[in-house]
Homo-oligomer: A and B are copies of this chain.
């Protein structure tokens, strides 16, 4: 586990072995043209600049924990603790550059080997009143793994990386049981041996874990074909302060409320997910990606809606707005954007919006039907190249942020979803909120998850960093965007990033005071002393 320590310490996304992302000079030139000059500043602070207080885990608890997991799996070295002191939001990254802003460092890191050890660790934490932050890939962008203490004197990070096994495969029911710490690529590798795939590929895929996917209601890039992660969950096993909790015996049930859907999305506040039974599918024999240009965002969204409501969505369906399309073309090396734009204009596409479609497995007929719909709507086929460019770079977004931060750019994403009739209003209001608070930022947007009744909107914001108050700059913008989303119950505060600390203030607007009371009551029932992930979800 310590191989990735330097990456984690830097707050960097890039996993071991993956290429570090350098920004192409052309992309930097384009960006500066769009957002203005930026000043390289705020280098990542050296460890020595970060004050790490001594661990406050009671000695007796430390002893009991070490007896459970083995002394080598209870870490209180400052570097190990620092490396798991939060997620990877822009503010998390910024804090590694401004340590004076405060980093919540856990008192220890515990690495249990299996679900039984997780349960025993919780029992010790209950008896010594130690807070517990469940930790998978550490990729939260909403403060979901920040080591807050709540009312506890000490808090430990429960790192699930040793729970990395494929427990079982039931090829008849097409259900696999995976331990919570299995990362995306490892899940696919282990399932592929049995001829199966999970098909869950979010942007955090390289680092994020099965437990994290479940805890946050993750949605992968192929969600139109494979469903959101909660659609894949056949069952969950959780460790809670009240003991083990198992849910899920059938594909569907009317045995009261679906408690799986309460565990899924509980973000570590109702228990530590230790195993997930997931629906799997045969590995597709082929995959095919293609791209189109649609004229204008409004026509593009109508087209995606049309496909969704006719049951014709490609497994990956991704529509970029005009600015994101321009950015994709500018940042994908080798594109002759001027030529392309002229070509498209001659074909009636004045405001190109890139539509990327991905098909897994046999798709001939569906593709032909979609192509007909797209042609009828005036879309122009761009072939496979832009889709493959997206594919190549699809996990790079988070990694690019480190390079952008070095450049002095304020860069962050936020996302929401709503029903189709309000998608235009939601798009406009979020952009307006960002403009009102950030001056003239570059705001890119895409729809990457579409449903019969609505779709998600995913925004990327780029603007020169306010060197005097970089944290305040983003906090104001984020607050304005969140208020625009929940005002009048216009959209959800998160379509797939979850709540964590950052969205907690807005949850009441979405689920009501009663909704929060119900969540708090459920938490008290399973976690009466409140040791689980203090300060998350219900604030």
A interface residue numbers (CB < 8 A to B): 170, 172-175, 216-219, 228, 230, 234, 240, 242-243, 245-247, 249-259, 261-267, 270, 279, 281, 305, 309, 365, 416-422, 449, 451-456, 489-499, 503, 507, 510-515, 517-522, 524-526, 537-538
CA distance A216 to B494 in the complex (A): 28
B515 touching A247 by the CB < 8 A rule?
Answer: yes
Contacts A243-B514, A256-B507 given; does A421 touch B262 at CB 8 Å: no
A256 touching B267 by the CB < 8 A rule?
Answer: yes
Residue of B216, B243, B245, B510 near A249 (CB, 8 A) is: B510
Contacts A250-B418, A514-B245, A525-B514 given; does A494 touch B255 at CB 8 Å: yes
Residues of B within 8 A of A421 (CB): 170, 172-173
- In the complex, what residue of chain B is closest to A520 when comparing beta carbons? B525
A255 touching B503 by the CB < 8 A rule?
Answer: yes
**Which of A172, A218, A449, A514 has the most CB atoms of chain B within a 10 A radius of its CB?**
A514
Residues of B within 8 A of A263 (CB): 257
B218 touching A173 by the CB < 8 A rule?
Answer: no
- In the complex, what residue of chain B is closest to A503 when comparing beta carbons? B255
Residue of B253, B256, B511, B520 near A519 (CB, 8 A) is: B256
Residues of B within 8 A of A454 (CB): 173, 250-251
CA distance A442 to B216 in the complex (A): 48
B455 touching A251 by the CB < 8 A rule?
Answer: yes
A-B contact pairs, 15 of them (CB 8 A): A172-B421, A173-B453, A217-B253, A228-B252, A230-B258, A242-B513, A242-B517, A247-B515, A249-B491, A250-B495, A252-B451, A254-B265, A254-B494, A257-B261, A517-B525
The 10 closest A-B pairs by CB, nearest first: A251-B451, A521-B525, A261-B261, A173-B419, A251-B454, A217-B254, A250-B492, A253-B492, A250-B417, A521-B521
Q: A217-B253, A251-B418 are in contact. List 8 more A-B contacts (CB 8 A).
A: A172-B420, A217-B258, A246-B512, A250-B416, A253-B510, A255-B507, A256-B511, A261-B262
B498 touching A251 by the CB < 8 A rule?
Answer: no
Residues of B within 8 A of A526 (CB): 514, 517-518
Min distance, Cβ A468 to any Cβ of chain B, angstroms:
33
- In the complex, what residue of chain B is closest to A514 when comparing beta carbons? B245
Residues of B within 8 A of A305 (CB): 172
Contacts A247-B512, A525-B520 given; does A258 touch B265 at CB 8 Å: yes
CA distance A305 to B174 in the complex (A): 10
A518 touching B416 by the CB < 8 A rule?
Answer: no
Residues of B within 8 A of A259 (CB): 511, 515, 518-519
Contacts A173-B419, A420-B172, A522-B522 given; does A257 touch B251 at CB 8 Å: no
Residues of B within 8 A of A175 (CB): 419, 453
- In the complex, what residue of chain B is closest to A253 when comparing beta carbons? B492
